[in-house]
């Protein structure tokens, strides 16, 4: 089990899972649908199975590339801790579990489950033909809030789309920063990435632009629903953490890329989601002023 958790880098669940909780409780608190423990459990299971399949497939498909890259040759398949066949079997098992779980949620989630898997698994091949691979990764993680909303309601709405767009731009932006480490390797191996295509300086500028868009989408829900003071504090904190990671990484100094990638973004996601959930819980009791712009 420890090997498989390492294979899928389970700690990185900290990025998308908090936004799945946002989507779930957004539906519970802004619609007539009520909270159900069974639906919450199903949502969490779907997140785990989808992410497991995506990460295991990525490691399987990239095993030869990872073996050549000094930064990634210590990963589980190149290092021999898990075989390629085992990783593929693990991928297929999690895909099956994901689809089976959606069957017990509602028809829309079940019908859309192959589409979701196509997106999250398809990302692994994109670096071979397009520098927009970072946006495809962002799209995959952006399914979390809207998918969780569908678990509760079974229909689409505007509010969760704002959070999905925020995740898309946020993840795409920080993945570009992370990819700065492999700029030279990607060029040498004819792999596509924004840093390899634009260079470090312009890649960081594009990442900054994407994070500005992410901050915008985080703000937009206040125009469509009532929120409390805690949500505004969450917006401020999220924006500060976005800004901080750009202060950490410079074109001529990538020594703190991993800290910017994992620590700052993980903290941003968890704290923002926590403040959102507290805001949703406390707002009906009048403990914090409700504001709608």
| Residue-range domains of the chain with CATH | 2-291 (1.10.357.140)
Opening angle at CA 171, ends 128 and 112, nearest 5:
75
How confident is the model over 162-195, as pLDDT tens digits?
999 999 999 999 999 999 999 999 999 999 999 9
Report whether pLDDT(286) > 60. Answer: no
The band of 213, judged by pLDDT with boundaries at 50, 70 and 90, is very high
Report whether pLDDT(10) > 70. Answer: no
How confident is the model over 14-63, as pLDDT tens digits?
889 999 999 999 999 999 999 999 999 999 999 999 999 999 999 999 99
> How many other C-beta atoms lie within 10 A of the C-beta of residue 29?
17
Predicted confidence at residue 274, as pLDDT, reads: 96
- Gyration radius from the chain CA atoms: 19
Say what the pTM is. 0.93
Phi, psi (degrees; rounded to nearest 5) at 82: -135, 135
| Mean pLDDT score of the chain | 91
What mean pLDDT comes out for the span 242-270? 89
Burial 59-97 (b: 16+ CB within 10 A, else e): bbbbbebbeebeebeebbbbeeebeeebbeebbeebbeb
């Amino acid at each position: 089990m420890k090997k498989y958790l390492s294979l899928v880098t389970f700690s990185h669940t900290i990025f998308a899972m908090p936004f799945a909780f946002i989507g779930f409780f957004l539906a519970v608190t802004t619609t007539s649908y009520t909270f159900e423990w069974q639906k919450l459990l199903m949502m969490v299971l779907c997140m785990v199975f989808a992410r497991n399949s995506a990460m295991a497939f990525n490691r399987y498909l990239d095993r030869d590339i990872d073996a050549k890259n000094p930064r990634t040759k210590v990963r589980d398949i190149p290092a021999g801790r898990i075989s390629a066949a085992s990783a593929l079997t693990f991928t297929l098992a999690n895909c099956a579990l994901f689809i089976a779980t959606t069957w017990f949620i509602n028809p829309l989630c079940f019908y859309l489950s192959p589409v979701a898997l196509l997106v999250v698994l398809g990302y692994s091949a994109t670096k071979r033909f397009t520098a927009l691979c970072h946006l495809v990764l962002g799209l995959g993680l952006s399914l979390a809030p809207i998918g969780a909303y569908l678990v509760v309601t079974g229909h689409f709405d505007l509010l969760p789309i704002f959070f999905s767009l925020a995740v898309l731009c946020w993840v795409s932006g920080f993945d570009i920063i992370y990819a700065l480490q492999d700029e030279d390797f990607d060029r040498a191996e004819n792999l596509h990435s924004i840093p390899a295509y634009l260079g470090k300086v312009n890649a960081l500028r594009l990442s900054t632009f994407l994070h500005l868009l992410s901050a915008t989408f985080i703000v937009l829900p206040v125009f469509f629903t009532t929120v409390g003071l805690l949500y505004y504090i969450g917006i401020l904190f999220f924006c500060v953490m976005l800004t901080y990671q750009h202060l950490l990484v410079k074109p001529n100094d990538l020594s703190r890329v991993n800290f910017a990638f994992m620590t700052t973004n993980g903290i941003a996601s968890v704290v923002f989601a926590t403040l959102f959930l507290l805001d949703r819980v406390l707002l009906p009791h009048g403990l914090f002023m409700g504001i709608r712009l």
